[in-house]
Amino acid sequence: MRGTNPAPDPDALAYWLLLSAGGAPDSREDTLMAAVHIYDQLRTHLSIFLGTSGFDSLWARSLYLLYRTIAWDTEPPVAATPHQLDLLIAPGTVAEAAMRSHALVSQFLSLLFTFIGADLGFRLLQQRWPALPVPLAYAKGEELSQ
């Protein structure tokens, strides 16, 4: 019987993915570009397995769950893009924008791991990002080794 691996931490993986896409963002535009890059990569790669409608459904559910946790002054505005990242990143400070993009990617990965299983989900991510840290070796906050 195969040894049991610890489940991948969606928060740590989201942190790593966003850092690898753009480093530490200095502006909302940098944060948006990194988040859109990760969205595009995830959608392109995972749609092969999930189908585009399956991916879009998981992304929409992630957005819905995240919108419920964000304190909006008014109703959330209508998105200008399919991924709706522009809505999450536009209001607030750079730190708030980075937190929201991280929370969305983390929520998406959590749903993905719930839907298809953590082992398979992590293997699919590693196909696209071979340098993705394995759960045991990764501690949130470590610097990326390029």
d(CA 2, CA 18): 31
Per-residue pLDDT for the chain (146 aa), expressed as one digit of tens each? 344 556 789 999 999 999 888 866 677 788 888 888 999 999 999 999 999 999 988 998 898 888 888 765 555 555 545 666 776 666 677 888 888 889 999 999 999 999 999 989 999 999 999 988 876 534 444 433 33
pTM of the model: 0.80
Tokens of 89: 């990143």
